[in-house]
A and B are shown apart, each in its own frame.
Chain A
Amino acid sequence: MIHSMSTTTISDILTPPVHPTGLNGEEQMDTAFDDIKGTVGTQTVDDPKMSAHGVDVFYGDKQAIFDVSLDIGNNEVIAMIGPSGCGKSTFLRCLNRMNDTIPTCRVSGSMSLDGQDLYDPSLDPVLLRARVGMVFQKPNPFAKSIYDNVAYGPRIHGLAGNRAELDDIVTESLKRAGLFDEVKDRLDSPGTGLSGGQQQRLCIARTIAVSPEVILMDEPCSALDPIATARIEELIDELRQNYAIAIVTHSMQQAARVSQRTAYFHLGKLVEVDDTNSVFTNPQHELTENYITGRFG
């Protein structure tokens, strides 16, 4: 045999992974960190819906994102993958200014939606979040009826003139989220009484009820079983016809299944972004290769 097997001891396995907080393996972290010079692949698209350029994000003194530039195209799903703490969720949350709610968080660089600066002081973040909706890891329906969960957004944004219009929006949103048939006879029962997968589709219905242009999804299937996951993935594919979608996922298979482009983050840097097909068959950066094949970084 040409190469020998590496011998792994229990202590190797128990050693915690290198983490950007610098709590351990400082030296090792610095080497890997310095190895990442710029981004491999194509960061831009012809027709971007959202665009980030030279984005740095800090939590207090700690920098979480380093000089990330990335476009999100119309009618495409872009998957963001990477180990825990790599900054993918932080980046996603910057795209609809969710990080504004964290007092120590500071964002620099430019981010835009249809060319409009997201961090323009005159821009109302509430309106921005109506245009750029978000679905979270754990389904988080309000403690209200199924109907009211979906009607909540349209009500506060005044999207419906009367009850009939509101009914239409709720029905249409539930239909597009693939949930209507399962709940049409119990729209008045509490949203929290649904199964996990149904709750997540309810949250998606709630997100699309305000007619967003972009949907951000932060590990939307991590709490769901494979059948519910398959339903959500099917839904993502249908939603792609009308929206731009960015999804953060820990499941490489999911990224490979649902996305057209894949971005790999590592230690706060965007290491590689390209067509999903190329990333999963022939990644150009060694760190991407190591991550998607489950090798030691």
Chain B
Amino acid sequence: MDKLHLDQHISQQFNLELEEIRNKVLSMGGLVEQQVTNGLIALLEGDRDLGQSVSQSDYQVNALEVEIDEECTQVLARRQPAASDLRLIVTVIKVITDLERIGDEAEKLGRFSVELANPDETGKYRKELRHLGELVNDMLREALDAFARMDVDAALKVAARDGDVNREYSSLERLLATHLVEDPRQVSKLFKITWCARALERIGDHSVNICEYVVYLVKGRDIRHTSFDQIMKEFS
């Protein structure tokens, strides 16, 4: 039962409601992904205007979260969904919470990029974030693809990359600490860059959460707080 057949209900109206919820989650995902990408570009390129626009666009993500939440509540109250329909609604409610938090992290990137945009010494430090940024940006995109396609294998592949993110974050932390020792005058800016690294690492975590919900949606199995080896044993 890997395909959820969302369009197969006897009630056409129910099909439409679920379809609309799903479409809105995908738009919200697209919007959040755009915010993260722009936030990252603003940070790496020192683009103040772009950073400004990212930090001021989060309201769109928040509005979608509220809207989708409301529609899910309506479906729960009026349709009393069961089985895969119930799992879809529960999954959506959780996915949009993580998406909204990713939106907050992106907003943070935008805000810090404005503060860090002066063409001074920090330019070279900012660029240290490129690798981590690209890694989590990929993870987010693939997590959203896995959700759109309800693809368990893809979801597990994304979840497997969380270790890479954590390693990259740790080494970045050490690197930034070294810079701090070498150049104590930049302390406040280096702290901001550390905060950006932290935001990116959190985006990776939220992407992994989304992938865990995809597995729950398709397989009906809750894999949160389960060791990765155990999960792979079960699903491979």
Contacts and interface: CB of A to CB of B under 8 A. Distances in A.
Interface of A: 1-6, 8, 252-253, 256, 280-283, 286, 288-290, 292-296
Nearest to A292: B82
Given A5-B15, A280-B82, A293-B85, A286 B10 contact: no
Given A282-B220, A289-B1, A295 B8 contact: yes
B232 to A, nearest CB: 20
24 contacts: A1-B19, A2-B149, A3-B7, A4-B7, A5-B15, A5-B19, A6-B8, A8-B12, A253-B80, A281-B86, A281-B220, A282-B83, A282-B87, A289-B1, A289-B83, A292-B82, A292-B83, A293-B9, A293-B85, A294-B9, A294-B11, A295-B10, A296-B8, A296-B10
Interface string B145-171: 000110000000000000000000000
Interface residues of B, number: 26
Contacts, number: 57
A190 B229 CA distance: 69
Most chain B CB atoms below 10 A, which of A253, A256, A280, A282:
A282
Contacts of A282: 83, 87, 220-221
Given A5-B7, A6-B15, A293-B85, 7 more contacts: A2-B148, A5-B15, A252-B80, A252-B82, A281-B220, A294-B9, A294-B10
A275 to B, nearest CB: 13
Contacts of B85: 293
Most chain A CB atoms below 10 A, which of B8, B14, B16, B83:
B83
A256 B82 contact: yes
A226 to B, nearest CB: 13
Contact of A295 (B5, B16, B148): B5
B56 interface: no
B213 to A, nearest CB: 14
A295 B9 contact: yes
B81 to A, nearest CB: 7
A6 B9 CA distance: 10
A161 to B, nearest CB: 50
B23 interface: yes
Contacts of A252: 80, 82
Nearest to A13: B10
Nearest to B86: A281
Contacts of A292: 82-83
The 7 A-B residue pairs whose C-beta atoms are closest, nearest first, are: A282-B220, A295-B8, A292-B82, A293-B85, A280-B82, A289-B83, A293-B83
A293 B82 contact: yes
Contacts of B81: 293
A280 B12 CA distance: 22
Contacts of A289: 1, 83-84
Interface in B191-236: 220-221
B180 interface: no
A268 to B, nearest CB: 22
Contacts of B148: 2
A2 B19 CA distance: 10
Contacts of A288: 83
A8 B13 CA distance: 12
Most chain A CB atoms below 10 A, which of B9, B16, B148:
B9
Contacts of B80: 252-253
Nearest to B85: A293
Contacts of A4: 7
B6 interface: yes
A294 B220 CA distance: 18
Contacts of A281: 82-83, 86-87, 220
A79 to B, nearest CB: 13
Nearest to A278: B220
A4 B10 CA distance: 16
